[in-house]
């Protein structure tokens, strides 16, 4: 549910101190990693987004890692590493977004609670990421069509057609899948009440995750605290895809909505 700029920012942060092996893959296929980091959120329609968010992550990442081990594609590996960064943030941030969409967002300094849609909260958070972290120049460089090489789109399309579409019970043909991937276009929408409403929870109000645990984390704190666990997931996936290692099930116990599976 979180939008594209926060996922882009997070995906870049978790690779800043990456191992040589991980860095080598991402340098070969940075466009595949970028596209993967956006997950299914920018696909036309909502089916892929919702289906992949609720897919059992052990199945999703275990089956794709086995596929990559067999196929040997570094391009597909880079894409799935990006997708893994997306999942790692979603499983923590999506419950946050859902909670405040259901319970309202407070104004700063004791302001009243206002009912705000999930979409508005997502936009508000993303606009903060642009303003406070990325900067408008960097954000604008990502706006419009993502410059993904055709050979990369061909590889990722085949990954969807042969593996990912089946895992999410979506049966799109090759042409439709390619068009969906090629059509990813980030934008910078306006956010209402950006300076009035505490979209980022910087006043640390209480919220609950999918396990009904009480938390007070801000989005800024989530971004900081989840870097290390997310990086561990990327390294775990690298080992799975390169040596056919069995996945550590404890690392994949939550789906993209933060629910235990």
Q: What is the mean pLDDT of each run of 10 residues along the chain (261 residues)?
A: 87 95 96 92 68 88 96 96 96 96 95 94 95 92 85 95 86 86 84 93 97 97 97 96 93 92 88
pLDDT, tens digit (0-9, with 9 covering 90-100), for 46-80: 667 777 788 899 999 999 999 999 999 999 999 99
Q: What is the DSSP letter of 113?
A: E
* Tokens of residue 46, six digits: 């909502």
| DSSP assignment of 125-191 | HHHHHIIIII-HHHHHHHSSS----HHHHHHHHHHIIIIIHHHTT----HHHHHHHHHT--------
C-alpha span between 47 and 63 (Å, rounded): 20
pTM of the model: 0.94
């Amino acid at each position: 549910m979180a939008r594209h700029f926060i996922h882009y920012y997070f995906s870049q942060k978790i690779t800043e101190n990456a191992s040589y092996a991980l860095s080598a893959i991402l340098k070969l296929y940075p466009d595949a990693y970028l596209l993967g980091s956006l997950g299914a959120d920018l696909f036309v329609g909502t089916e892929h987004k919702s289906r992949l968010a609720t897919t059992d992550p052990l199945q999703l990442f275990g089956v794709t890692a086995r596929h990559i081990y067999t196929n040997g594609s570094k391009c597909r590996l880079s894409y799935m590493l990006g997708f893994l960064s997306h999942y790692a943030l979603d499983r923590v941030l999506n419950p946050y977004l859902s909670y405040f969409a259901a319970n309202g967002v407070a104004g700063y300094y004791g302001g009243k609670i206002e009912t705000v849609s999930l979409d508005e909260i997502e936009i508000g958070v993303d606009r903060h990421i642009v303003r406070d972290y990325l900067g408008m120049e960097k954000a604008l460089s990502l706006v419009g069509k993502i410059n993904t090489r055709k050979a990369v789109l061909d590889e990722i399309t085949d990954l969807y057609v042969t593996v990912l579409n089946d895992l999410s019970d979506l049966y799109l043909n090759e042409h439709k899948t390619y068009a969906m991937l090629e059509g990813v276009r980030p934008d910078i929408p306006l956010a209402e009440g950006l300076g009035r409403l505490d979209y980022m929870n910087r006043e640390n109000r209480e919220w609950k995750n999918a396990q009904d645990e009480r938390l007070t984390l801000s989005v800024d704190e989530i971004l900081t605290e989840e870097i290390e666990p997310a990086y561990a997931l990327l390294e775990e996936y690298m080992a799975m895809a390169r040596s056919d290692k069995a996945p550590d099930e404890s690392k994949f116990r939550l789906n993209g909505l933060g629910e235990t599976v």
